[in-house]
Amino acid sequence: MIALLAFAANAADSRYSTVQGTPDGIGKAYMGREIAKVMSYHGASWLERPERVQEERPDLVLVALDLKPGMKVADIGAGSGYYSSRMAERVAPGGVAYAVDVQPEMIDILRLQMKQQRVTNVIPVLGTETDPKLPPGALDLAIMVDVYHELEYPYEILAAIVKALKPGGRIVFVEFRGNDPNVPIKALHTMTEAQVRKEAAAQSLEWVTTKSDLPWQHVIVFRKKSRV
């Protein structure tokens, strides 16, 4: 058993490399991309800023998700629950939204937000850096909004999300567009479509579509592959 655990740890380590850290990164790279620093819970108010409605057009993102009543969905890196509550509204009645975050303080903020908004079908989940703690084979959809580029263990988290999806379930990346001079976001907090697709290809996922009609972001959708 000890040998197996050591083998798994070595395999995980080999996926990543140490790089010269930049001010916005953690000095660790995955598939040629330095991983960005996580936004602290101290920045939770930025997630709820009124300007977000125009800067990010969450209404268009939600349309792209094609949510239906009764669905089980997950908001990975949920923060204050900005998307969690909006998704929960669209999957009601009968559906639930799991709101996952690794910062206990963010979970506390999220709980308070849901209480104030009287949202009852959001389930807060305290995940870890390698495990979002989601029920296996239960989800119709999982979304990460401006989150994936900050995951310290992107391979492990993505694999766990895929495991939590139903057959044919979808995973959606919403990221600020990389290499776009019109996007006023630090480079390490952006991702190109090519990089997202490259990293998703390491999992049992197939690309479905990419929507680039948002002001600063793109919505990149994948589906869990059916077993052959």
Q: What letters, b where the CB count within 10 A reaches 16 and e where it falls short, cover 84-111?
A: bbbbbbbbbeebbbbbbbbbeebbebbe
16, part of any domain: no
Point out the least confidently predicted range of 1-10, 51-60, 64-73, 123-132: 1-10
CATH code (residue 65): 3.40.50.150
Residue 40 confidence class, pLDDT cut points 50, 70, 90: confident
Q: Which of 112, 42, 55, 51 lies closest to 84 in space, CA to CA?
A: 112
Tens of pLDDT, residue by residue over 167-177, are 999 999 999 99
When divided into structural domains, the chain yields a total of 1
**pTM of the entire predicted model:** 0.91
Tokens 């479509």 correspond to 193
4, part of any domain: no
What dihedral angle (degrees, nearest 10) is formed by the CA atoms of 50, 95, 63, 134?
80
Residue 1 has pLDDT above 70, yes or no: no
208, part of any domain: yes
Backbone angles phi, psi at 61, to 5 degrees: -65, -45
Residue 12 confidence class, pLDDT cut points 50, 70, 90: low
Residue 78 confidence class, pLDDT cut points 50, 70, 90: very high
Average pLDDT over the chain reads: 92
Tens of pLDDT, residue by residue over 106-145, are 999 999 999 999 999 999 999 999 999 999 999 999 999 9
Check residue 9 and give its pLDDT. 47
150, part of any domain: yes
∠ CA 132-110-104 to the nearest 5 degrees? Answer: 55
Question: Which domain covers residue 173, as residue numbers?
Answer: 39-224
Q: How far, in Å, CA of 139 to CA of 162, rounded? A: 9
Higher pLDDT, 198 or 39: 198
Check residue 2 and give its pLDDT. 52
